[in-house]
Amino acid sequence: MSCTNCGSKSCSCSDNCPNKTSDITVFDGQLNVLDVPCGASLNDILTLLEAYTTNMVNELSAMTSVVITSPNPIGLAAGTYSIQQVIDATLTAITNLSSQQVYVDVTQTTSNTLLATPSGGVAPYTYQWFIQDSILEVVITGSSTNASVMLNPASADTGKALVKVRVTDANGKKANDCFYIQVNL
């Protein structure tokens, strides 16, 4: 076979270009290119990649520090840190996520009463209850700004409603939950 594309940059092994190599990109802290001869067997390529991967693992295992840029999700200023410092900062960032996010769970405590139980965020919490939708109208009896709310049917002996609570923590973070309830007089 003759070389069909030998003078161009797009010459490939299938063009039969003399001394052409194919490129396999591997990562070793920098993007280095490992050149594999066109005639190499799959076994040859796998052997090269295995050796390169082993070297990469050894390099990572021997790392004692890492350069962090800013901004970053773990809250470190730009600089060089030990691996332990990065691990500690990451664990702190994960722990702090729970204090940044508010969750709420609504449970039925009696036949006509719902209770909102918040977690995460920062106390104190404020509450706002709403009737999202109802069949045979249901109304909130008493305050709609407490952790628990009492519901009653407006006119019939029974009513059904989708009730929503919005909880806000001291930092203004919000969480919502809904509960479908059947209430009776």
Q: What does the domain layout of the chain look like in residue ranges?
A: 13-96, 102-184
pLDDT band, residue 66 (cuts 50/70/90): confident
Amino acid 11: pLDDT = 56
User: Which residue from 106, 124, 117, 116 is spatially nearest to 171, judged by alpha carbons?
Assistant: 124
Instruction: State yes or no: cis peptide before 124, omega within 30 of 0.
Output: yes
> Across the chain, what does the average pLDDT equal?
79
Amino acid 26: pLDDT = 46
Say whether domain 102-184 belongs to CATH 3.90.180.10. no
107-159 confidence digits (pLDDT tens): 999 888 999 999 988 899 999 999 988 887 888 988 899 999 999 887 777 78
Could you tell me the maximum CA-CA distance found in the chain, to the nearest angstrom? Answer: 94
User: Which residue from 24, 153, 84 is spatially nearest to 76, judged by alpha carbons?
Assistant: 84
Amino acid 22: pLDDT = 57
Which of 5-14, 87-96, 127-136 has the highest average model confidence (pLDDT)?
127-136
149 strand-pairing partners: 114
Label each residue of 109-124 as H, E or C.
EECCEEEEEEEECCCC
- Cα distance between residue 143 and residue 158, in whole Å: 21
- Cα distance between residue 176 and residue 158, in whole Å: 26
Amino acid 27: pLDDT = 47
The tokens for 61 are: 């295992």
Instruction: Give the mean model confidence (pLDDT) for residues 154-171.
Output: 87
